[in-house]
Amino acid sequence: MRAGGIERLLRDVMASQFHPLQQKRQQLFTGSIAMSKASPAQAF
């Protein structure tokens, strides 16, 4: 992977904390937390 690709990936990861999830992903994430089922990571 070129350095530019790594920089872009790092930028995207860092920016993800400032952007909301898409609606369906948010519903899955919130539902998994509310129902205390599988870990939230498995909602994706």
Report pLDDT for 32.
Answer: 83
How far is Cα 42 from Cα 20, in angstroms, rounded to an integer?
Answer: 18
Q: How far apart are the first and last CA of the chain?
A: 25
Report pLDDT for 28.
Answer: 86
pTM of the model: 0.46
Report pLDDT for 25.
Answer: 86
Report pLDDT for 41.
Answer: 63
Q: What is the DSSP string of 3-40?
A: HHHHHHHHHHHHHGGGSPPPHHHHHHHHHHHHTT-S-G
Report pLDDT for 3.
Answer: 64
Residue pLDDT tens, the chain, 44 long:
466 788 988 888 888 788 888 899 888 888 888 888 666 565 55
